[in-house]
Amino acid sequence: MSRMSGLFDLSGVVAVVTGSSRGIGLGIARALLGQGASVVVNGHPADETAATVAELSGEFPGRVVGRPGDITDPEVAEGLVAAAVREFGGLDHLVCNAGIDVIKPAVEYTPDEWDRILAVNLRGAFLPAQAAARYWIAHERQGSVTMTSSIAGQIGIPTLAPYAASKGGINQLVRTLAAEWASHGIRVNAVAPGYVANIMDSVTAHDDPASDQRISTFTPLGRRATVDEIAAPYAFLAAPAAAYVTGAVLPVDGGYTAT
C-alpha cells in the first residue's frame, strides 16, 4: 500500500462542528461527512439545527446527530463533547466555527453589540476547545481543533471593529493553545476565509454591485469563494495529512492577503 493512501480519509473520525446549522458551518460538516467522519451538528436555533440534521442524515445515514444551544454557555460546550462520546463513542476533531457580525462604523457600536460579538466569536471558540482538550487529556487521547478566523483578523477592514478584534484574538488563541497542548498530542489550527458567496445571516452590507466589484478587484483570483472551497481545507486539517500542522492560520482567500 502506498504511504500516501488514506491521508485524507476520515473514516471512523468523530467531529463536532459549532455553528453548523447553516452557511460555511454546514459546508464544513458536509465536507467532513463526505470524507467518512461522523458529526455532531450545533446551531443556536433548535429548529434550524433539527432541519439540518434531517437534511444531512438523508445523505449520511447514521453519522449525524444534533445538539443545539448557545456556544457561549459552558454547559453547551461541555454537552457537545458529551454528545460525541455518547452517540459515537469518542471525539477526535472539533471545529469552532460559530460566529456573528454587525457591520457599522466603529463610533456607532453599542457596548452590548461589542460584548455579544466577542462572546460568540472568541469565548464561543475557547469554551468548546477547552472542553475537548479536557476530555482528550483526561483520557490520554490525541485530538485536533480547527477554528474559523478571517482575513479581518490580519488586515484592517473598515466597519468590522469588534469582528476583526475577535478574529485577531482567534489567531493568537490558536498559536497559544497549539504551543500549550502539543505535548498532549493536540493540534490547534485555524482557517481564515476571505470573501465568500455565502453571506452571514442578516449581513447585507456587501449586497451592492460596487462592493462586489471592489472584492473582485482586490482578490487576485477575481471572485468570491464558494462554500465548498472554504470547507475543503477544514477536512484537510482534520485528516492524517495534516498530522504535523499545528499553530497555523491558513488563508483561504483567493490571494486577498497576499497583495
Which is the catalytic residue, given 163, 195, 234, 256?
163
What are the angstrom distances between the C-alpha of 128 and each of 82, 92, 101, 124, 239?
A: 11, 13, 20, 7, 20
CB 91, CB 144: distance < 8 Å: no
Q: Is 138 helix (H, G, I), strand (E, B) or coil?
A: helix
How many C-beta atoms lie closer than 10 Å to residue 259's C-beta?
A: 7
CA distance 3 to 206: 45
**In which residue are the cell numbers 497549539 written?**
178
Active site residue 163: yes
CA distance 33 to 38: 6
How many C-beta atoms lie closer than 10 Å to residue 205's C-beta?
A: 13
Hey, which residues are catalytic here? 163
